[in-house]
Amino acid sequence: MTSPSSTRPGTTAPCPPTGTDPRLTPSPALRRRALGFQTAEEAVRFWMQHDERFHWAHRNAILSEKSDEAGYGYYKGGPWNHYWTLDMGRK
> Helix, strand, or coil here: 31?
strand
> Helix, strand, or coil here: 37?
coil
From residue 8, how far is each of 16, 28, 33, 35, 87 by CA, in Å?
22, 24, 14, 9, 23
pTM above 0.85, yes or no: no
Question: What is the pLDDT tens value at each position of the chain, 91 positions in all?
Answer: 333 333 345 555 444 444 445 554 555 557 888 999 999 999 999 999 998 888 988 899 889 888 888 899 999 999 999 999 999 888 7
